[in-house]
Chains A and B, each alone.
Chain A
């Protein structure tokens, strides 16, 4: 990250003392970022991006504090540097079980208001209809959110960031690609 650009914003629900959240480290080879949708891999207890049909029993989280990478709270060990930081901090995820409304820059395509959204393996949300799934080469997808505001600009730092707004949908419906 080269600046303080905000790519996720909680319009409703956070901060809140009763929020359900989770702090964990990214899984091996997983590059996390603010606003990405992820779940906890039950075998490693670490973040994995997206929610596939095989992860349908897992709870989705939107990644927030500490997900910005270098210069943020979490410091992955890098042997190529001439110094090393102890890995204090972690990556916080806000659970989809909460009553939240979120603006995130982590999306693909052009979701419209009311679209069912799934979280791809890149951690980004996309419209979840059978035809678009087929076009995107996604076999099956789990609905995790509903789009409440189509792509719009969110003022952040020196630039405006394209974001969509969504609310979680924990119905766990699976949409098949072949329709």
Chain B
């Protein structure tokens, strides 16, 4: 009997012995661990655990809503002659809300007698089906939101060219008014006139977020730096094509022999995902540190509900979370021409 079959038998034995709670807890721990390892949003914005005590009642809903304080902009200090008194500025803060919503997988059902016949770990079933579904449900709306924030016209469908209409300067976000995307597929779609994935274009893309924005005569321009950069592994492999003169001989040799084992380039942390349906070939997303970006609030951690009735087993994973980008300047995107399938 394989190890997996033994594990399955033990898992089923727990259920047979009526230890539903034990089986539920073991699988819940496994679920949470996998989500932490593989969920993209959870790496970009580590979840903040909240309870009803952290939430604020609203007039428009009886759902849990977290209200988050936000840094405000304020007029600049001015240099004045002696004898001048400062102008008054009444203080008022800014806040944003994070509405909680439930996420759950389908309710998976199976006759236990059939489960015992599998040669692989029953928990792999959870991982392969339920957990991946759950991760996708968390990540997809987040990346859609990121693209909407960056988009020139978020009212258009993402497949519409006007959604991300690139100009010489890049794509100007309808939400912030700032250029938050450089497109390196054509020289006239980024301010550097660069085409392709190169040391120059990657480094140039790192300036999108740090480029000051706002009227410097009114308030301090908004300047942020990317803290985490996300691209898929297909795009990431382009780093291995860079020459020793671009990235140095030791790094070039390391990637030539070991592949994409490095996660820091040009002083920035990179996260390479295999989810090329979510982060498409050629796309690079840049995120500021979580405290400058937003909140991913988690009110119910992913939890496995398991029920055992006679010979039928059923389970589903549920959680409750909300995510808001409080500072839309804290993200940017670059597009590189990568050969697509």
Residues of A within 8 A of B (CB): 1-4, 28, 68, 70-73, 75, 77, 79-89
Inter-chain CA distance A70–B149, complex, in Å, is: 18
Residues of B within 8 A of A88 (CB): 99, 101, 103, 141, 321-323
Inter-chain CA distance A4–B62, complex, in Å, is: 7
B132 adjacent to chain A (CB < 8 Å) = no
Residues of A within 8 A of B325 (CB): 83-86
Assuming A82-B96, A83-B324, A88-B323, is B60 touching A1 (CB within 8 A)? yes
A84 pairs with B149, CB closer than 8 A: yes
B145 pairs with A72, CB closer than 8 A: no
Assuming A3-B59, A71-B99, is B154 touching A77 (CB within 8 A)? yes
Could you say which of B102, B141, B326 has the most chain A C-beta atoms within 10 Å of its C-beta?
B141
CB-defined A-B contacts under 8 Å, sample of 27: A1-B61, A2-B60, A3-B60, A4-B59, A4-B60, A28-B157, A68-B61, A70-B60, A71-B58, A72-B60, A72-B63, A79-B173, A82-B96, A83-B70, A83-B327, A84-B149, A84-B175, A85-B325, A86-B141, A86-B142, A86-B145, A86-B322, A86-B324, A87-B141, A88-B103, A88-B322, A88-B323
Task: Choose from B63, B70, B145 the contact partner of A84 (Cβ within 8 Å).
Answer: B145
B97 adjacent to chain A (CB < 8 Å) = yes
Residues of B within 8 A of A82 (CB): 70, 94, 96, 328
B102 pairs with A89, CB closer than 8 A: yes
Inter-chain CA distance A85–B175, complex, in Å, is: 13
Residues of A within 8 A of B58 (CB): 71
List the B residue with the shortest CB-CB distance to A69: B60
Inter-chain CA distance A88–B62, complex, in Å, is: 16
Inter-chain CA distance A68–B59, complex, in Å, is: 12
